[in-house]
Amino acid sequence: MRKILFSALSITAIIILLNISGCKPKNAGDSISGDAASKVFVPPGKYDELYNFVSGGFSGQVSVYGIPSGRLLRVIPVFSVDPENGWGYSEETKPMLNTSHGEIPWDDQHHLDLSQTNGEIDGRWLFANANNTPRIARIDLKTFRTAEIIEIPNSAGNHSSPFITENTEYVIAGTRFSIPLDNQNGDVPIDSYKKNFKGTISFLSVAPNDGNMKLAFQLLLPGMDFDLSHSGKGPSTGWFFFSCYNSEQAHTLLEVNASKRDKDFILAVNWKKAEEYIKAGKGKKQIVKYAHNKYDEATHTATSVMETETTVIDVKDFPDIVYMIPCPKSPHGCDVDPTGEYIVGSGKLAALIPVFSFDKIKQAIAAKTFDGDYEGIPVIKYEAALYGEVKKPGLGPLHTEFDGKGNAYTTFFISSEIVKWNIKDLKVIDRQPTYYSPGHLMIPGGDTKKPYGKYLIAYNKITKDRYLPTGPELAQAAQLFDISGDKMKLLSDYPSIGEPHYAQAVAAELISKNSLKIFKLEDNKHPYVTMGEKNSKVVREGNKVHVYMTAIRSHFSPDNIEGVKLGDEVYFHLTNLEQDWDVPHGFAVKGNNNAELLVMPGETQTLKWIPEKVGMYPIYCTDFCSALHQEMQGYVRVSAKDSNVPISFSLGKNSDALDSVLTK
């Protein structure tokens, strides 16, 4: 290994030398071209060309990068608590992380999809999935905040999600794990998989005006694993395609037992048909339990509602909804090209990439060119659906995106490369190494009707020697390629947050023009808002102490509070009175078993504190808000339970002694 590396290094060195001395025409071994720096350099003060939204994997969050610079713009808290800004710690945001299992501080965030209109990105919302405790989040791209999270019943390992239909009619979510349904007894032997375990695909409708999601219906399917999915478009409008593995229905050592069959399946779902059956009342109601959490921008407060019903269609009773297409060896990616005609399955263990034709699928269905059925679902003959195969493309194909110019790009995990191939003639055009072992790749708009075929980003799982070592745990890497020419050119790579899986990107203007600067104070409908310093106060209600507090450069009002006693629950309702872009105020209390608040201009957020010892508790602003930020501080006095210190509060009153010094 070392020898190979060494020789690879020396080859690279020679190539670099050749490049510098002679500028020889570039070849495939040329990993970085001379003008790469100018292509990713965005001068200070200039904006990037694209927003890039990247899933955080085990971080549970979504990160936002500028492309081509690779500059990290923001990390949006979604499924994981974020003490940095109080997400999941403030009273207002806690309900966002509520589930039927209670409040959960973490999840595994794999895939993202931007909302679309007519198959093109419209820049309104970003959808994100939670893999572990199945949920879908909607992020509002005006505020870059999580606006809604809905839990999915009858699901486990919400992996083939959150992919959307062409007009964002639905967000689709398929199960990785099949399980006994929620309304059935789950206390059954694991080896009763074939009998008791089912997979589901959920359709969440999205309200066109405000984006609010609703669990519209669920399709009940045989037990197996659904991996990835994508919407049809153009000729395949109304259809959705899923990759499935473990058609062996193994429940143990899947590494071996789910790789036995020569082929698994692509599942083709006629969702328009399913929608018709639902409208005709053919679905069956089921009692289930799932949380539906919404953040109200007017009250700056989230609410969590426990929903209790779902509508299910068992596809074996409706054989014209779902068809299966054999696909070699445990497919991962299931990607539809911009024209909507070609469906590409990427079998992790396959030595080829099958490309299916929607036209042929339709003909096969009409002519019933079936090869039996799989638990009641018609299986279309492989050859009848197949447009062709990309032969010997590489090892371990995972995911394919498109440039809108007739080319497809597939990641190969095992052979650590990206391969560019032509959709029509299925010939390989170019291959470039990645460093190392890519999972997903992303072309801006690469899963829409209109890709922005200038860049490609590979999300690499293994970085080993790519950056300065940081001990055993290393950041993963995003690797940016220029794909505007015939050959892909590596431009740069940079570390990423968590473990990126799928990502999205869009021309910056579509998002930046709508970006909110401040919350208008006059529109603040928070029940504990303090409209101006004069209204700040401290109110005792039994053992609850409500502090109606304001922040403005550079003080809190009030900043001296007395009369809090042991046994009290103190709620600091902090309203940021600023109406100025980029002037948040932070708030923290010494010894609080809680996080801090970071409150945006015009917003109100609440921090709970249960003091546990008598004493003096400093409070201060944690965000360097102004030149006098360090002066933005105060005290809360905590007295014994039986103390008779009354509630009092003040701002700006010094002791007499000090006042006399000041006026001298």
Partner 1 sequence: MKHLIGLFSIIAIVLTISCNQGTEPKNENASATSDEAAVTAGGQENVKDSDSQKDVVKVAMSSKDHTILVAALKQAGLVTSLSNAGPFTVFAPTNEAFNKLPDGTVDGLMKDDKKEDLQNILQYHVFMSALKPESFSDGQTLGMVNGDNVTVSVKDGKTMLNNSVTIIASIPASNGMIYVTDGVLLPPVKK
| Bond preceding residue 554 cis, omega within 30 of 0 | yes
Question: How many CB atoms are closer than 10 A to CB 249?
Answer: 16
Amino acid, res. 483 = I
Q: Using the rule CB under 8 A, give the single segment among 200-208, 395-403, 431-439, 481-489 that binds partner 1.
A: 481-489
The contact mask relative to partner 1 for 633-652 (x = CB under 8 A, - = no) is -------------------x
Q: Which is nearer to partner 1, 179 or 457 (CB)?
A: 457
Please answer whether residues 488 and 430 qualify as being in contact, where contact means their C-beta atoms are separated by less than 8 angstroms.
yes
Partners of 264 in beta bridges: 327
Cite the DSSP H helix spans in 340-426.
358-366, 382-385
Q: Using the rule CB under 8 A, give the single segment among 193-201, 379-387, 522-530, 548-556 that binds partner 1.
A: 548-556
Q: Which is nearer to partner 1, 56 or 68 (CB)?
A: 68
Q: Which is nearer to partner 1, 593 or 663 (CB)?
A: 663
Rounded to whole angstroms, how far apart are CA atoms 627 and 497? Answer: 32
Q: Using the rule CB under 8 A, give the single segment among 204-212, 233-241, 348-356, 484-492 that binds partner 1.
A: 484-492
The contact mask relative to partner 1 for 427-456 (x = CB under 8 A, - = no) is ---------------------------x--
Q: How far is the CB of 482 from partner 1 (least distance, A)?
A: 7
Q: Which is nearer to partner 1, 219 or 521 (CB)?
A: 521
Q: Which is nearer to partner 1, 628 or 640 (CB)?
A: 628
Per-residue buried b or exposed e for 377-386, using 16+ beta carbons within 10 Å of the residue's own CB: bbbbebebbb
- Asked if 299 interacts with partner 1 (CB under 8 A), we say no
Q: How far is the CB of 454 from partner 1 (least distance, A)?
A: 8
- Binding residues for partner 1 restricted to 192-231, rule: CB under 8 A: none
342-347, strands of its sheet edge to edge: 331-336, 342-347, 352-357, 386-391
DSSP letter string over 158-180? --EEEEE-TTSSEEEEE-SS-B-
Number of residues that bind partner 1 (CB under 8 A): 46
- Asked if 580 interacts with partner 1 (CB under 8 A), we say yes
Q: Which of 485, 591, 615, 618 binds partner 1 (CB under 8 A)?
A: 485
- Binding residues for partner 1 restricted to 139-198, rule: CB under 8 A: none
Q: How far is the CB of 32 from partner 1 (least distance, A)?
A: 11
Q: How far is the CB of 554 from partner 1 (least distance, A)?
A: 5
Q: How far is the CB of 497 from partner 1 (least distance, A)?
A: 23
Q: Which is nearer to partner 1, 19 or 212 (CB)?
A: 19
Q: Which is nearer to partner 1, 46 or 544 (CB)?
A: 46
Q: How far is the CB of 520 from partner 1 (least distance, A)?
A: 9
* Consecutive H or E run containing 21: helix 2-22
Q: Tokens representing 298?
A: 């007017």
- Decide: helix, strand or coil at residue 346: strand
Q: How far is the CB of 37 from partner 1 (least distance, A)?
A: 6
Task: Look at residues 488, 475, 481 and name the one whose alpha carbon lies nearest to residue 428.
Answer: 488
Please answer whether residues 349 and 259 qualify as being in contact, where contact means their C-beta atoms are separated by less than 8 angstroms.
yes
- Asked if 552 interacts with partner 1 (CB under 8 A), we say yes
Phi, psi of 588 (to 5 degrees): -145, 150
- Binding residues for partner 1 restricted to 10-29, rule: CB under 8 A: 19, 23, 25
Cite the DSSP H helix spans in 350-489.
358-366, 382-385
- Asked if 513 interacts with partner 1 (CB under 8 A), we say no
Q: Which is nearer to partner 1, 68 or 393 (CB)?
A: 68
Rounded to whole angstroms, how far apart are CA atoms 170 and 162? Answer: 9
Amino acid, res. 90 = S
Q: Which of 285, 368, 613, 664 binds partner 1 (CB under 8 A)?
A: 664
Positive or negative torsion for Cα 156, 160, 161, 165: negative
The contact mask relative to partner 1 for 107-136 (x = CB under 8 A, - = no) is ------------------------------
Q: Using the rule CB under 8 A, give the single segment among 35-43, 177-185, 195-203, 229-237 that binds partner 1.
A: 35-43
* Euclidean distance between the first and the last CA atom of the chain, given in angstroms as a whole number: 79
Q: Tokens representing 653?
A: 């009153």
Q: Tokens representing 412?
A: 């190969």
Torsion of CA 388, 390, 391, 397, to 10 degrees: -130
Q: Which is nearer to partner 1, 212 or 554 (CB)?
A: 554
Alpha-carbon distances, residue 416 vs 27, 125, 394, 419 (angstroms): 18, 33, 9, 10
- Asked if 46 interacts with partner 1 (CB under 8 A), we say yes
Phi, psi of 434 (to 5 degrees): -120, 160
Torsion of CA 103, 105, 108, 113, to 10 degrees: 70
Look up tokens 């505020």; give the residue: 143
Q: Using the rule CB under 8 A, give the single segment among 9-17, 43-51, 251-259, 495-503 that binds partner 1.
A: 43-51
DSSP letter string over 260-283? -SSEEEEEEEEHHHHHHHHHTT-S
Q: Which of 69, 109, 129, 218 binds partner 1 (CB under 8 A)?
A: 69
Q: Using the rule CB under 8 A, give the single segment among 268-276, 374-382, 563-571, 578-586 that binds partner 1.
A: 578-586
Q: Which is nearer to partner 1, 23 or 280 (CB)?
A: 23
- Decide: helix, strand or coil at residue 642: coil
- Asked if 475 interacts with partner 1 (CB under 8 A), we say no
Positive or negative torsion for Cα 276, 277, 281, 283: negative
- Asked if 553 interacts with partner 1 (CB under 8 A), we say yes
Rounded to whole angstroms, how far apart are CA atoms 621 and 217? Answer: 47
Q: Which is nearer to partner 1, 469 or 485 (CB)?
A: 485
- Binding residues for partner 1 restricted to 582-621, rule: CB under 8 A: 583, 601
What is the β-pairing status of strands 301-314 and 213-222? parallel
- Binding residues for partner 1 restricted to 378-397, rule: CB under 8 A: none
Q: Which is nearer to partner 1, 267 or 488 (CB)?
A: 488
Q: Which of 30, 48, 335, 596 binds partner 1 (CB under 8 A)?
A: 48
Rounded to whole angstroms, how far apart are CA atoms 563 and 537? Answer: 13
Residues binding partner 1 (CB under 8 A) = 19, 23, 25, 33-35, 37-49, 68-69, 454, 482, 484-485, 489, 517-518, 552-554, 578-581, 583, 601, 625-628, 631, 652, 662-664
